[in-house]
Structure 1
């Protein structure tokens, strides 16, 4: 009998923020994101200068948990999710937990896209979802081996999820997704009329 194994697994963590409560209010978080975006002139200028659709605080605000208590509460919850994922990944952290490096707001309007990218200087990256209107973009994840499959046939449309070249996930408001930072991902065009709002973050190992 043949022995077929799955090797070199790519794991994706998906959970409700409230799994490690207390729950962070999605409506309060959405209001905070919109108010911050309205006030952050440096971030607005950066987005305009770099043709970034919508708004991100990535290049302008590096201290959201210090400025706004709701972001501190959010990070307290994220720390626990990241620790759980690190345990699932069997990381040997030598007694030094992964720590937050960056956290930023993303507001993607109708027609906006966020191109394919990785987070090369971090260990775990992720996003929690604040506003996901009907018809908005999924998260697109790419098989990290794709560039080495020069002569491989394409997969059938009914291929099992672990064998697909791309996987599309549509998260729900209040969920958090985590992945290892080398995993390439993107946000396709937002086809909804309303803004798609999320908060992304990186964790590193000191």
Structure 2
């Protein structure tokens, strides 16, 4: 009697999109202009600074104050054009049946000071979310992604040290300047404390 070789079927896979703007012509100048624009906002946006104080955000974010950055400053308008292309490529790779191209719903900047963090969360009311990284000093926080099955694992044993990334309950992605990361908006994620000695600058976004 012949014996068939058992196989494992990778079902319900979570696909995270990674690309880089670093190969774009003129990237260094563009990235520097983004950093300057972010810092300019942190000085001018008094409502944003008040929001950060009220919510204990160690640094600055425009999340709670500004919703028109692509129209407000040309650097963010150019960034939107890059992100639109990546969002469409990601949605097509996921085989989504799209009635229209993904639409940028909101975009906000983040300056995370040393020791600053962002606790675990998801992004309701969107279907694609992500971050582009502008300044990532040595020791800066990675992006921590959580296995969406984690709340339902019940009596599942721990995993061996040599387990592949796809089997780990948490995955840490360490970006570089220009890195674009996107994920489906239901995927829980967080930013651990920034261990760098200087600020970490990123720009986050949602597509609906």
Same fold per superposition (TM over 0.5): yes
Q: 1:73 is matched with which residue: 78, 88, 98?
A: 78
Alignment deviations for residues 95-147 of structure 1 (CA, whole Å, 9 cap, x no partner):
x1110001000110011010000002100000000100001111100000000
Aligned length: 203
2:43 — aligned with what?
Answer: 38
Return the offset for 1:3. 2.2
2:93 — aligned with what?
Answer: 88
1:159 — aligned with what?
Answer: 163
Q: 2:122 is matched with which residue: 100, 118, 124?
A: 118
1:14 — aligned with what?
Answer: 18
CA contact (8 A) 2:128 2:184 kept: yes
CA RMSD of aligned residues (A): 1.3
CA contact (8 A) 1:108 1:197 kept: yes
Change in Cα spacing, 1:51 to 1:12, as seen in structure 2 (3 Å) is same
Q: 1:134 is matched with which residue: 106, 123, 138?
A: 138
Change in Cα spacing, 1:33 to 1:196, as seen in structure 2 (3 Å) is same
State the secondary structure of the residue aligned to 1:98: coil
2:151 — aligned with what?
Answer: 147
Structure exhibiting the larger radius of gyration computed from Cα positions: 2
CA contact (8 A) 1:127 1:200 kept: yes
State the secondary structure of the residue aligned to 2:42: helix
Q: 1:97 is matched with which residue: 92, 96, 101?
A: 101
State the secondary structure of the residue aligned to 2:182: strand
Alignment deviations for residues 1-21 of structure 1 (CA, whole Å, 9 cap, x no partner):
112110001001111125677
Q: TM-score, normalised by structure 2?
A: 0.94
Q: Does 2:66 align with 1:27? A: no
Q: Does 2:187 align with 1:196? A: no
1:54 — aligned with what?
Answer: 59
Return the offset for 1:156. 1.4
CA contact (8 A) 1:33 1:105 kept: yes
